Amino acid sequence: MKKGERSKARILEATGHLLARQGYHGTGLAQIVKEADAPRGSLYFHFPGGKEEIAARALVEVGRRTRGELATALEGARSVGDALDALLGYFAEQLRASDFELGCPVATVALEAAATSAPVREAALEVYGAWQELATRFAHGVGLEGDAANDMGLAILSTIEGALLLARVQRSTEPLEASGRVLRKLLGV
Amino acid sequence: MKKGERSKARILEATGHLLARQGYHGTGLAQIVKEADAPRGSLYFHFPGGKEEIAARALVEVGRRTRGELATALEGARSVGDALDALLGYFAEQLRASDFELGCPVATVALEAAATSAPVREAALEVYGAWQELATRFAHGVGLEGDAANDMGLAILSTIEGALLLARVQRSTEPLEASGRVLRKLLGV
DNA sequence: CTCGGAATATGATGATCGTTCTAGCACCGT
DNA sequence: ACGGTGCTAGAACGATCATCATATTCCGAG
């Protein structure tokens, strides 16, 4: 890998880190280059689109990685109930390990920039689309098909996103656990 | 009402408006005094705590008002199914009327500032606590009691919050509607 | 070894951020 | 009408914001 490529990768990783914790407007370019230990002068060389482009690509990257981790966690489950525990447990662990600073790595930026930045909104759309597809596959696992599976996937994703929001505000995993109990009842597992 | 009181009220109302659409760091004090048509010099006279205090009090205010509107919408419902429609319909209308700029008026700021501003986080905590109590009362309406009602209230709130997030990203009320269909099945109404 | 483009360094740009300061206006009870 | 205080006007603070221009270094291909 060439030098430029590594700089780019480090910038995107650091940006994903910072955006998840502080949001879009709360994260400055100066902080990004510092955290990435990257050359300040080459920011606009690698990302001519400026901050919007950096944020959008960082969002896609962190979403792709999260999706991968969730997928492997789901594959390791031996029952639908286990899979649900794996899903919620993954996020609960992230919350605890970060002192409730890290919930959904996309949500904050998505809400901030959905109305003002088309590239960022489209990146969030892509990430949530992929996650929704994962949730719909999960719904297939409990015997749902067609529209019912789509609805269920979207509802599961909504519930988890909302629970992650409330968990950060309450500084507690209780919303995740309560949602887990209700989802388990809903799915009959 | 004295002059100072009216200035304070206008500032809080304008701030609630702006925070809901642009978040905490995306909203500047200059924009607030402009939107409120309020005197810039008296910002720190009325709110010595600065931006944090203004945001926290605006959040509580908008949360209180929203809770009132939701409560009256719920009282007008003649069945549990109607009540659910009223709940989701209220937010769907907000989204449509604002071209999908206005979802949950608290969520963006809550995510941005939960980890960095204690006053803002506590304000969000208070608002969500009141809303959760409303959702739990709703759960009582379908015959649930005790822990089951608490879990259901928290899960309903989580689902709606998540659906509002996804709706803004997708620029569509579909997440709200899908969640509504699933919730109706879950509640058996 | 050399040459040329890729990548980085440095610093300045104007704008806006939140905050604070000092005057001075407006309105109150007396 | 008067004094006093509740409130406002307006500017200035240093800091930081995103962006960009220019100069310099790196590195691989020929």
The nucleotide whose C1' lies nearest the CA of B45 is D7
C-alpha–C-alpha distance, residues B119 and B110, integer Å: 11
- pLDDT at res. A6: 81
User: Which of A155-159, B22-26, B74-78 shows the lowest mean pLDDT across its residues?
Assistant: B74-78
- The pLDDT confidence band at residue B109, using thresholds 50, 70 and 90, is very high
Domains of chain B with CATH codes: 55-187 (1.10.357.10)
- The pLDDT confidence band at residue A4, using thresholds 50, 70 and 90, is low
Nucleotide D6's nearest residue (CA vs C1') is B4
Q: Which chain B residue has the Cα nearest residue A27? A: B25
Contact A83, A135 (CB under 8 A): no
Query: What average pLDDT does range B31-56 have in this prediction?
Result: 93
Quickly give B161 CA vs D13 C1' distance in Å. 41
Average pLDDT, chain B: 95
pLDDT of B2 strictly over 80: no
pLDDT of B38 strictly over 90: no
**At residue B90, what is the residue type?**
Y
- Name chain B contacts of A186, Cβ cutoff 8 Å: 182, 185-186
- Contact call for B168 and A22, based on CB within 8 A: no
- Contact call for B162 and A166, based on CB within 8 A: no
- Contact call for B159 and A154, based on CB within 8 A: no
Residue A128's CB: how many other CB atoms inside 10 A?
A: 24
Q: Which residue has the tokens 């509002």?
A: B164
pLDDT of B128 strictly over 60: yes
- pLDDT at res. A189: 85
C-alpha–C-alpha distance, residues A96 and A78, integer Å: 25
Query: What average pLDDT does range B83-104 have in this prediction?
Result: 97
DSSP, residue by residue, chain B = --HHHHHHHHHHHHHHHHHHHH-STT--HHHHHHHHT--GGGHHHH-TTHHHHHHHHHHHHHHHHHHHHHHHHHHT-SSHHHHHHHHHHHHHHHHHHTTT--S-TTHHHHHHHTTT-HHHHHHHHHHHHHHHHHHHHHHHTTT--HHHHHHHHHHHHHHHHHHHHHHHHHTSSHHHHHHHHHHHHHHT-
- pLDDT at res. A2: 61
- pLDDT at res. B40: 85
Q: Using one digit for the tens of pLDDT, what is the confidence trace for A42-71?
A: 899 999 999 999 999 999 999 999 999 999
- Contact call for B165 and A101, based on CB within 8 A: no
- Which of the nucleotides in strand D have any atom less than 7 Å away from a protein CB atom? 6-11, 16-23, 26-28
Q: How far is A86 from chain B (nearest CA, A)?
A: 18
Residue A184 to residues A79, A181, B23: CA-CA distances in angstroms?
A: 12, 5, 34
Q: Which of B169, B172, B173 to mutate to test the interface with A (most CBs of A within 10 A)?
A: B169
